[in-house]
Amino acid sequence: MNLMSAPGAGKTTLLEATIKALQGKFRLAVIEGDLQTDLDAQRIQALGVRAYQITTGTTCHLDARMVARALDAFPVNDLDLLVIENVGNLICPASFDLGESLRVVVCSVAEGPEKPKKYPVMFNKANVVLINKIDLAEASGMDLKELTANVREVNPNATIFALSARTGEGMPVWTDWLQRAVAVHASVAMVSV
């Protein structure tokens, strides 16, 4: 799963909440992409989950070569789910296929309802759009219906979940859906073998 968003949308907090909900249900690991630091990898490791840091320096996205090098150093054969937390950016990551089975875009309500229209490539290629920080919708003057409509205009096929990784609102619906998606992918992979 390629997890993408703008900086500050809450990707890592959402990932932490997702990991906590899935603990004991899946064997998972995370590849973290960031310009500098391994702070996010440390947060994931603190949950008892294996994490591998890719520090990109001045590159604003991960690419397939970076992920392939990480996979050489980071065994993933025994996993049910590998999450790649991409560099926070709504432009560059959208154009790079990492070999993922699922593209998930996190959009914070504080970013404004126009984000899908301003960054259509990112939203158009998403399988799932997670509208995060809905607990801040009223305070930020966000109309969730407008944001959802804008996502639908750019990508009518995206599955959309409105949630708050901090409060937990909407998280069970997302994690239940993700469990089913992983199970479907696993059964398709077994048939392909």
**Model pLDDT, residue 8:** 93
Cβ–Cβ < 8 Å for 1, 55: no
**Model pLDDT, residue 192:** 41
**Model pLDDT, residue 187:** 63
Phi, psi of 82, deg, nearest 5 = -110, 120
The tokens for 64 are 């397939």
In Å, how far are 12, 21, 29, 32, 127 from 45, measured between CA atoms? 12, 16, 9, 11, 27
The full set of domains in the chain, from first to last, is: 2-192 (3.40.50.300)
Cβ–Cβ < 8 Å for 89, 105: no
**Model pLDDT, residue 127:** 97
Residue labelled with tokens 């990898």: 41
Q: Which helix (H) or strand (E) segment is 55 a member of?
A: strand 50-55
- Each of the 193 residues of the chain gets a pLDDT tens digit; together they read 999 999 999 999 999 999 999 999 989 999 999 999 999 999 999 999 999 999 988 889 999 999 999 999 888 888 999 999 999 999 999 999 999 999 999 999 999 999 999 999 999 999 999 999 999 999 988 899 999 999 999 999 999 999 999 999 999 999 999 999 999 877 655 444 4
**Model pLDDT, residue 191:** 44
Mean pLDDT of the chain: 93
The helix, strand and coil proportions of the chain, stated in percent and rounded to the nearest 5, come to 40, 20, 40
Q: How many CB atoms sit inside 10 A of residue 17's CB?
A: 21
**Model pLDDT, residue 41:** 95
pTM of the prediction? Answer: 0.93
**Model pLDDT, residue 11:** 96
